[in-house]
Amino acid sequence: MTADTILYFAIIAISVISIILSGTVNSTFDKKSKIATALSGYDAARLILDKNGLYNVKIEMTSGKLSDHYDPSANVIRLSEAVYNGRNAAAVGVAAHEAGHAVQHAVQYFPIQVRTAIVPVCNLGSKFAMPLVIIGLLISSYTLAFAGVIGYGLLAFFQLVTLPVEFNASRRAIELLRDYSTMDNEAISASRSVLTAAAMTYVAAFAASTLQFLRLLLIVARRRD
């Protein structure tokens, strides 16, 4: 079995794992939503923001399930309805995680600064990576093909930088909830479970993009030789 074939099957395996992990996030969220808390998701995010002096960061409701995110350009946390209004450990954990991202920006956490800086380049690279590789191979322009491989490598690098950002935001969320809220250990543990399940999807995404980068690099290098 060639290295290219091994990488191909590894990519398929990681893709299947990613699907399973996505399902795990949803099932974990639904399960931990049964653990009631006095705080709603909105309350938790607002508490963390205010305790860190981030009174100017707004919190808005958005559509979709688990569509929660922090938008640094608008200085706003957008929470899905289930998280915004939910008075349970799952909702509080997700909301606290997004507040953790806002705190990261406020304290200029280095990995999130790097991720923010490379977003435009990585978006461009990921958009044109595959077309450049395919066109380069078709016309035997290996410079063009390698440019496409580098573009895909940027996506893998972005996923790599994302890992410490997401893990750190989750760690901050749990620590801030423990410091500022009245949640008991059971609720804190439930919130951590939701965030851990979500974090694993980022690990899978990094693995998938890295394997695809290596596979494309191998294909182009082999064709050139």
Cα–Cα distances in angstroms (integers) from residue 169 to residues 51, 111, 133, 218, in the given order: 16, 11, 35, 35
In eight-state DSSP terms, residue 37 is -
> From the candidates 98, 166, 175, 186, which is the catalytic residue?
98
d(CA 27, CA 214): 33
d(CA 201, CA 170): 13
Whether 88 and 35 have beta carbons less than 8 Å apart is answered as yes
Phi, psi of 162 (to 5 degrees): -65, -30
User: In the chain, what is the straight-line distance between the N-terminal and C-terminal CA atoms, in Å?
Assistant: 20
Alpha carbon 103 to chain centroid distance?
16
Is residue 60 flagged as an active site residue?
A: no
Number of H helices, E strands in the chain: 7, 3
d(CA 199, CA 155): 18
Whether 209 and 126 have beta carbons less than 8 Å apart is answered as no
Taking alpha carbons only, the member of 96, 120, 90, 99 closest to residue 191 is: 90
Instruction: Please identify every residue annotated as catalytic.
Output: 98
